[in-house]
Structure 1
């Protein structure tokens, strides 16, 4: 049961709540090895099973749970964390009712669990308060070897915010100004 407790620990750290055994939905009991539900931003119902349970039994449990959730008009997505090896055909059958997240080992490390169930976990973003970056335009200018004293170049880089067409238009105007070409000259030639 060490693998199951590791999965539950990772889920609980991510804000999931462990559910009592057996899992009861609309008065029907389901004997999953463990289950948890998301709180806050996650609404997933997570079932945890090992390869110690016969595949046919697991398929019946998951299918029965899916039917019970339908009867209860539940909109909660179901994910099955499976510890151990699972045959491709069995996985396809289980995926009819739940998202299957397979952990290759029945006794995985915490990092293996975190990798396998990453879609259930919140993203870990760097703390932007600690990052003191420069103005992105100045960074681009420095990378391109441009001086801050060139307003035309700065305008060209800033046009990138509005997309490729804005950059083309700004570049066209810059080149035309350099060769002293004016749009009204094109119209006179016609």
Structure 2
């Protein structure tokens, strides 16, 4: 359970004191944390040590208290250990349930279970080696294969499929010796 709180705290959550107090009512959850900055979630942590009927009553009571307080904070319950489908459905009436099958999970299992609560880890922009796709195609073609016709086709790609079709039509017409001009047929 401490590892769950550590993962949450590392993501910017604040550990709440026990017992959790909402609108003057105390709720004896094993642990709780609230989001700060960008997250507004109230996260409850429970283990198999709490009987599921008691846990259901606690979560339902907390949901009612939050409603009375006009709280807009979403509630998530991280449950360590197995939980039956019917018990999970009952708990999901009041909170998002993030189950972890193991009673003693490792950090990776915890991070996977609570991923929806954690900020996205985006790659560092300096480490991304992407460039303009047209330039990449031209680099693959190389200077010997980059004829003016191929360059025109690749550049047309920036304007979409219709532009590529038109450039390809012109290329094929030129190869066949056809002109784009319409001839007057005076009879």
TM-score (norm 2): 0.84
Q: Does 1:87 align with 2:84?
A: yes
RMSD: 2.5
1:116 Cα shift?
Answer: 0.9
Name the CA shift for 1:158/1:89 in 2 (closer, same or farther; >3 Å). farther
User: Contact (CA 8 Å) 2:138, 2:146: kept in 1 or not?
Assistant: no
Q: Does 1:102 align with 2:99?
A: yes
Structure 1: which 5+ residue stretches go unaligned? none
* Segment of structure 1 superposing worse, 23-32 or 130-139: 130-139
* Segment of structure 1 superposing worse, 160-169 or 123-132: 160-169
User: Contact (CA 8 Å) 2:75, 2:95: kept in 1 or not?
Assistant: yes
Q: Does 1:65 align with 2:51?
A: no
1:76 Cα shift?
Answer: 1.2
CA deviation map 1:68-126 (0-9, x unaligned): 11111111111110000000110011111111111111111111111111111112222
Name the CA shift for 1:35/1:176 in 2 (closer, same or farther; >3 Å). farther
In the alignment of these two chains, the number of paired residues is: 183
Matches of residues 1-190 of structure 1 in structure 2 within 5 Å?
4-143=1-140, 145=141, 147=143, 149-179=146-176, 180-182=178-180, 185=182
TM-score (norm 1): 0.82
| Structure whose alpha-carbon radius of gyration is higher | 2
